[in-house]
Each structure stands twice: as C-alpha cells, then as structure tokens.
Homo-oligomer: A and B are copies of this chain.
Amino acid sequence: MTAILLDGKKLSQKIKDSIAEEIKTLTASGKKPPKLATILVGNDPASATYVNMKVKSCHAVGMISEKIELPDTTTTQELLAVIDKLNADPDTHGILLQHPSPPQIDERAAFDRIDLKKDVDGVTTLSFGKLSMGVETYLPCTPYGMVLLLKEYGIDPAGKRAVVVGRSPILGKPMAMLLTEMNATVTLCHSKTKNLPEIVAQADIVVGAVGKPEFIKADWIKPGAVLLDAGYNPGNVGDIEISKAWEKSSHYTPVPGGVGPMTISVLLLQTLYSAKDHFTPPLK
C-alpha cells in the first residue's frame, strides 16, 4: 500500500482558478468583484504575513481587498466600531479579523460582532451553532479546507472513528462537529486527555489541531489511517510526526502544502458565496 498525499496546494489552486473564472464572468456582466476586508490589530509579524498572503490571494483571483491595520493599543470598543462600519458597507462581502488579537481585545466579542452574512472566516458563535445543527452558514476555513480535501480524494468519514486532537473554538471543536455531521464517530481530545496514544491508535482519521510541533507521534498511528494536519509550527512542521507517520497512513496532508493553502482558498470561496448572496452549501 502506498500512502496518498492529500495535495492541498493543488486543490487550493483548482479552487482559486474556478473562483477567478467566476469573477471574470461576474465582472463581464457589469457587476463589481467581491470584496474582502481584512483587519489586523497590532504588530505580530506572523499575523502580518498571513494577512498579506490573504490579500495577495484576493488580488490573484480578481477580488478587491480592503486592508485595515489598527495599532497595538486599539481597544475592543474601537475594534467593534470598525467592524460595525464594515457590516454596514454594502460593498464589503466578507470580513476577516486576523487571530490572535492583542491581549486587551475581547476577541470573542469582536468575532461575534461580525455580521453572520459576512462571516466568511466562520468564526462567530452563531455560525458554530449553525454548523453543529447542520444548518447552512459559513464554515471555519481550516476545518472546511480539511473537509474539502477529504471530498476531493473520495474519503467518506461515515462510520469511521475520527480523533481530533485540540479543542480550540475555531479549529478542533468545529472540525469535530463537521466530522460528526459527516457521520464519523468523533473523539475530541485535549490537554486533559489521558492515554492519548491509545486513543489516537483507534482512529481511522486523525486530525492534528493542537499547535504543538510533532506532538502526535508516528508510533501512535494505526496503519491505514488518514492523517490531517492543521498544525503549522516553527521549523515548518505540523502537529503530527509526519516524516515517519506518512508511510503508515493511507492518506496524509504534508506540511507545508496540505491544510495551510486550503485555508486561504476556502476564505476566498466563502467570500464569493457571500457576494452571490448565499451560504456555503451543505456537506452531504
């Protein structure tokens, strides 16, 4: 058995190409291109890099971007006022608030201020509730990117055991809910989980969503498992010890070039959906 690489770079490009095509058609018919507003608070260099990548990708597919940079000293109230303005602007189809915000910001309040119809990054509490209920909404980009990779490679999670390692509100928890929607039996693990190696060893699908370099060891992996790595840690490594684990897997995402590129193309895709005035189509 040879492990199959889940090529996020390739699928991401395919999605971007189709978005670019659609935007061409839109603009040819006289409509304005979709517009994504990005908000970066503070001076974190990694966050600045991420925002720049997103802005660049917008332009590459023919979208308009509005880049808002706020000082490190911004208050929650000031940030909410910026979001309110973007919510009210009929030309803005999507709003992305780059995570993490500086510590004085109530980031949850800021996320939740984003109008559900412009929450193309899928970060609001209400969108989490909706996805958990199987109701249409926009989905958190990284989990949805992983779902699209599964679909692209014909991997149906139904009836499979999935183990998600990490329970953050925009990654581990929604991924657990999306896999449950797709009829996997999901175990959600976290820092208080005991016997993690044994739990991971039962998984047909392993999701690394913990943000710790090579935290999930190759030894733990069941032969033939599908490995999805949403981690991107210093040293260009993910959350799974993929250099050794890939050989045991049936399918795996490389780092880089797996889940990472999907995150951006899903953001653009959902911005396009918003411009077309609909939510993300159901998973099934």
- Complex contacts, A159 vs chain B, CB 8 Å: 192-194
- In the bound assembly, the distance between CA atoms of A193 and B127 in angstroms comes to 26
Taking the complex as formed, is A135 at the interface, i.e. its CB lies under 8 A from any CB of chain B?
Answer: yes
- Residue in B167, B169, B186, B190 whose beta carbon sits within 8 Å of that of A188 in the complex: B186
Whether the Cβ atoms of B180 and A185 lie closer than 8 Å is no
A93-123 contacts to B, CB under 8 A, are 108
Q: How far is the CA of A124 from the CA of B128 in the complex (A)?
A: 12
| Nearest residue, chain B, Cβ from A174 | B132
With an 8 A cutoff between CB atoms, is A280 at the interface? no
Select A183's contact among B124, B169, B186, B192, beta carbons within 8 Å.
B192
Q: Are B133 and A108 in contact (CB under 8 A)?
A: yes
User: Copy number of this protein in the oligomer?
Assistant: 2
Give the docked Cα–Cα distance between A130 and B135 (Å): 16
Chain A interface size, under 10 / 10 to 19 / 20 to 34 / 35 or more: 20 to 34
Interface check A53, CB cutoff 8 A: no
> Is there contact, CB below 8 Å, between A169 and B133?
yes
| Residues of chain B lying within 8 A (CB to CB) of residue A281 | none
Q: Bound complex: CA of A142 vs CA of B48, how far in Å?
A: 45
- In the assembled complex, how far is the CB of residue A56 from the closest CB belonging to chain B, in whole angstroms? 31
Quote the shortest CB–CB distance from A75 to chain B (angstroms). Answer: 20
Interface residues of A in 168-202 (CB under 8 A from B): 169, 173, 176-177, 180, 183, 185-190, 192-194, 199
Beyond known contacts A125-B132, A173-B177: 18 more, CB 8 A cutoff:
A108-B135, A124-B129, A125-B126, A125-B129, A125-B130, A125-B135, A126-B126, A126-B129, A127-B129, A129-B132, A159-B193, A161-B194, A173-B180, A180-B190, A183-B190, A185-B187, A185-B190, A185-B194
Sampled A-B contacts (12; CB under 8 Å): A108-B135, A126-B126, A129-B130, A161-B194, A173-B177, A176-B188, A183-B192, A185-B190, A185-B192, A185-B193, A185-B194, A186-B188
Question: Would you list the 9 A-B pairs with minimal beta carbon distance, nearest first?
Answer: A129-B129, A125-B129, A183-B192, A187-B187, A185-B193, A128-B129, A159-B194, A133-B169, A126-B126
